[in-house]
Amino acid sequence: MNNIETFSNIPHILANGTEWYLGLSACVDGGTKLYGVSGRAKRPGVFELPLGTSLGVILNECAGGMQDGYKLRAFLPGGASTAFLGAEHADIIMDYPTPEKAGSRLGTGLAILLDDKTSPIGMIRNLEHFFAQESCGWCTPCRDGLPWVERLLIAIEEGRGTPEDIERLHDAARLIGPMGRTFCAHAPGAIAPLASGLKMFAEDFQRMVSKSTPGTVESGAAGQAA
Ligand code: SF4
């Protein structure tokens, strides 16, 4: 089974030929791509553009740029299950190899923006909440590990976290993240924004635990599972 974006190209390729389709692209891989922008852009949305269009064009020309009063701090180039890239990559070519060379993935091509006034910890917590809810429950690291990750992030966000909780998040990323530990790519995808965010926003995490009132975060079965 493939996705509907791919299927929707087939009638046009059959009608117009492969050369026509390849010629629509701005890079060696052919065709168009549904790119998107969400977050504090002026006109968030989905835009069909030549594959290989730069994020600068997608964000500034199609989505109208950042909202007034907000700066781009970082972004997930290919949706929730890709790793953060910093604002220095804001004009990155959105083909397959370039985001990989920068340390992330093209993924869905739907960029999620982090602005300079939004907490990266809150953003990652929100993403992990989504992934924990979407787990089908088949594999223990995903079923129990992702809710545990979410609880640790909530504690840090609410000022109850400890430096050890940051270490636990690193451990969870190391243990749940690699492909092959779980039956499908849901868990490794869920860990991508966490693992990259722990590195990119290390100072934010440290600042939150340095002023926190430590509480207890129950690991439950996940402690053994992960
Ligand atoms: S990794 Fe995939 S198969 Fe395993 S519990 Fe998560 S969603 Fe289900």
Q: Provide the 3-class DSSP secondary structure of residue 15.
A: helix
Do 90 and 142 sit in the same domain of this protein? no
- β-sheet with 72-76: strand ranges across: 45-50, 32-38, 110-115, 72-76, 85-86
Neighbours of 52 (CB within 10 A): 20
Does one domain contain both 57 and 152? no
What would the pLDDT profile of 24-34 be if each residue is shown by its tens digit?
Answer: 999 988 899 99
Check whether residue 93 and residue 135 sit in a common domain: no
Which runs of consecutive H residues, i.e. helices, occur in 17-119? 18-23, 55-56, 97-101
- Domain stops at, among 87, 114, 141: 114
Q: Which atom of ligand 1 is nearest to the CA of 188?
A: 1
**Does residue 88 share a domain with residue 140?**
no
How far is Cα 170 from Cα 160, in angstroms, rounded to an integer? 18
DSSP state of 46: E
The closest-lying atom of ligand 1 relative to the alpha carbon of residue 182 is 1
Q: Is the pLDDT of residue 220 over 60?
A: no
Is the pTM higher than 0.85? The answer reads: yes
Question: Which of 114, 129, 148 is the last residue before a domain boundary?
Answer: 114
Q: Are residues 76 and 131 in the same domain?
A: no
Tokens of 178: 């690699």
**Tens digits of residue pLDDT in 132-183:** 999 999 999 999 999 999 999 999 999 999 999 999 999 999 999 888 889 9
Q: Which residue is associated with the tokens 């964000």?
A: 59
Based on the fold, state whether residues 61 and 16 are members of the same structural domain. yes
Same domain, 24 and 89: yes
Lining ligand 1 with CB less than 6 A are 135-139, 142-143, 182-184, 186-187
**101 and 156, same domain (yes or no):** no
Distance between Cα 175 and ligand 1 center (Å):
15
Q: Do 40 and 109 lie in a common domain? A: yes
How many domains in the chain? 2
Q: Where a domain ends, among 83, 114, 145?
A: 114
- Domain of 39? 4-114
- Of the candidates 116, 115, 86, 120, the residue with the CA atom closest to the CA atom of residue 102: 86
Q: Which of 2-6, 31-35, 65-69, 71-75 has the lowest mean pLDDT?
A: 2-6
